[in-house]
A and B are shown apart, each in its own frame.
Chain A
Amino acid sequence: MAHAYRAVQWNRYKRLYDAVLAGGCVAYHVLFVGIGAATHPRATIETLVIRATATLAFLLLTVVLSIGPLCRLDPRLLPLLYNRRHLGVVTFLVAATHGVFSIVQFHALGDTHPLVSVLTANTEFASVSQFPFQPLGLLALLVLALMALTSHDFWLATLGPTTWKSLHMLVYAAWGLVVVHVALGVLQAERHPAFPVLVGAGVLWVGGIHAAAGLRERRGDRERPAAREGAWVEVCSADAIADGRAHVASVGDERVAVFRRGERLFALSNVCPHQGGPLGEGRIVDGCVTCPWHGHQFDPETGAAPPPYEDRATTIPLAVRDGTVWIAPDAERTS
């Protein structure tokens, strides 16, 4: 939606979000290193920093992956999603700190280049217990770096929403690599059962809420069967749509949002052209359809974003017959 790209389009909420995030990260490190040094007098600071950044990056990545499905399950949590990209970038920065400290600690000042050493020091690929876990962490870090570097709207516009979204789905690959990195690394060194229990709980949590959100979406699609008459598909009663709100109908593999603005009704693809947010869960604000994810706005009649922005949502022909809303999803659209 951005017309002129800026590094960050700051607003009050983003500032608050980032302040809480940064403050929480600093407090986490102070507590982890401070209490760690007090309870383990023989600990070295660099080891505590490596572990603080490792545990925090794992925690943040778990939160990043949880926000999407949680918002599907409970839209009241959507304010957490609004600035998720900053959370993702901070996760990368924390993970990068862990990576740099670890590479320096374990691989620098030796007879081989540190990055080469990460990949070649341990070559026990045929062994489960001795499998090299560090290259997995490095690979996860590279994926997170790629995502952090392309998180800006410039890359979203340059790559296109589909490619950009596909690229950023690699976060699940990064998550898998991190889980195996942890399982084959620190879980083989720490003896307290809390460590495998917490990692296992994190994996079950992330998998569980994704499954729950997916089931809910699928159930929602089944609950909105649409009748057809030629090119036209029956959606719902026109009276069923409250002013400023939408009704979402499943038509084939697509979801369509039918919005009411006063006396008029408009049909648009439910997919926000910005980042694929569910437009139908948004509202009409200042006469425009407003996406619940990032607040991007579109004229419901034309699909165009207000000037100077250039995004355009896909509009779909709509007719009201005898108080029933019909749409023609296969007819010519504007987008």
Chain B
Amino acid sequence: MSHGDEFFVGHAPRMPESTRRRVRRVAAALVACGLALGVALTMLQARFDEGVFEFGVERTFDGVLLAEPYPVLLVADADGAGPRTILLSAPGKHGADALVADLVGRPVEVTGSLIDNGRREMIEVHAVRDLSADARLPAVDAGGESLGRLILAGEIVDSKCHLGVMKPGRDKTHKACAIRCISGGVPPVLRVEDRHGRLAYFLLVGTDGRAIGRELLSMIAEPVEVTGDVTRFGDLLVMRTEPASIRRPASR
């Protein structure tokens, strides 16, 4: 460094005094600015979703296993208000189909970690035990109520990440992960938010009731318009739709 008579040579045993003072000031300013920027950026992040993933915490749930077409556990509500549905997934970015294949329609005890965003629950399934011999579980009515044909604007998300595993579990930054999860069998859900910020979730199935995850991969994590027949199964809204009919808004 040449300034006045001083010249900085990095490998010299001693730095000129005025250079040393200047380097200290510049280094302190750079570090202070960097740290201040980091503090500002972390505080300015958008609010994180409310969902919780009880990673490392195992619970057990008793209920009846359904799988039409995605695995769902139908459990008796604690206050006796009627059964509630809990979506099921496997560890990682996978659906729970293989874990429950032999137990569909039976009463079971599911062990796993709860994922819950306050509006909908999912269990990351670790083990399933057949409770067919246990007479305590009441029979549940899985019959549905048709809500008619609807056109809904929203975003297709993977239910596992969106309900609490990832923050955020939607939008562009999560798109690739959502594609990976739905491709792996995690149930796809249409997230619909009204102008008051109220959320509703619609489990997406094909017009014949089949799983359609892989057919949705090009439409995930972006604004879409979905047309289909909606049926309410207890607290679960299921939308039958033709994947090819899903549209993006005109302005992209």
- A residues sitting closer than 8 Å to B (CB atoms) are 9, 11-14, 20, 23-24, 27-28, 31-33, 35-36, 39-40, 42-44, 47-48, 51-52, 55-56, 59, 63, 75-80, 82-83, 105-112, 117-118, 121-124, 127-130, 132-134, 184-186, 188-192, 194-195, 198, 245, 281-283, 285, 290, 292, 294-295
Contact = CB atoms under 8 A, between A and B. Distances in A.
A28 B35 contact: yes
A256 B177 CA distance: 56
A124 B248 CA distance: 13
B195 interface: no
A260 to B, nearest CB: 14
Interface in B148-198: 166-168, 171-177, 179-181, 183-184
Nearest to B214: A111
Nearest to B8: A79
B10 A294 contact: yes
Contact of A82 (B8, B52, B92, B177): B8
Nearest to A121: B176
Given A78-B8, A281-B2, A28 B34 contact: yes
Contacts of A12: 13
A198 B44 CA distance: 12
Nearest to B170: A189
B119 interface: no
B245 interface: no
A130 B175 contact: yes
Contact of A117 (B37, B41, B173, B180): B180
Given A76-B22, A110-B180, A129-B252, A31 B35 contact: yes
Interface of B: 1-3, 7-13, 15, 19, 22-23, 26-27, 30-31, 34-35, 37-52, 91-94, 166-168, 171-177, 179-181, 183-184, 218, 222, 252
Contacts of A134: 176
Of B34, B42, B171, the most chain A CB neighbours within 10 A belong to B42
Given A13-B10, A282-B7, A285-B9, 16 more contacts: A20-B27, A24-B35, A42-B50, A47-B166, A75-B1, A79-B19, A82-B8, A105-B166, A107-B177, A108-B92, A111-B183, A112-B183, A186-B173, A290-B9, A295-B11, A295-B12
Interface of A, helix, strand, loop or mixed by DSSP:
helix
A44 B167 CA distance: 7
Nearest to A293: B10
Contacts of B7: 282-283, 285, 290, 292
A127 B252 contact: yes
Given A27-B35, A107-B177, A283-B2, A83 B45 contact: no
Of A110, A123, A184, the most chain B CB neighbours within 10 A belong to A110
Contacts of B43: 35-36, 39
Contacts of A112: 180, 183
Contact of A124 (B49, B94, B173, B218): B218
B177 A106 contact: yes
